[in-house]
């Protein structure tokens, strides 16, 4: 690994534990209650019983005035990303932003992308 990358890794903010959680207007402060509420939240979120089910999303979208995507635009959206587009995106991206889905911050790409 590059020493410069290790320095970027050290600059991450240290996370603090959750001290309290407000649920349905009630403040929860014990670790056990907080963990139970968080677990219940994620169980419901990923169980498929939430209002964000596929059927609910389809029903919501049916009520919107969505048009067709023109064929020319579909071709552009499906085209490979060029090196020029990547370079332009790297120049425009602001630093001190949250990490992307790969866990890396924009500073990493600005510093180490060899384009």
Tens digits of pLDDT across the chain (115 residues): 455 555 555 555 677 889 999 998 999 999 999 999 999 988 888 876 555 678 888 888 888 888 888 999 999 999 999 989 988 988 888 888 888 888 888 888 888 877 5
37-43: long-range contacts, CB 8 A cutoff, minimum separation 24: none
Q: Which domain holds residue 47?
A: 16-63
Whether residues 55 and 85 fall in one domain: no
Residue 25 lies in a domain: yes
Residue 49 lies in a domain: yes
Whether residues 57 and 20 fall in one domain: yes
Contact 44, 30 (CB under 8 A): no
Residue 71 lies in a domain: no
Q: What is the value of pTM for the model shown?
A: 0.38
Whether residues 56 and 30 fall in one domain: yes
């Amino acid at each position: 690994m590059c020493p410069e990358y290790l320095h970027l890794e050290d600059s991450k903010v240290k996370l603090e534990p959750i001290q309290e959680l407000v649920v349905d207007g009630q403040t929860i402060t014990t670790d056990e209650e907080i963990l139970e509420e968080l677990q219940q939240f994620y169980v419901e979120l990923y169980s498929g019983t939430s209002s964000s089910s596929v059927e609910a999303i389809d029903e919501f979208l049916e009520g919107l005035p969505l048009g067709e995507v023109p064929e020319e635009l579909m071709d552009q959206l499906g085209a490979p990303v060029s090196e020029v587009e990547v370079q332009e995106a790297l120049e425009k991206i602001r630093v001190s932003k949250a990490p992307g889905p790969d866990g890396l911050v924009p500073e990493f790409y600005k510093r180490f992308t060899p384009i």
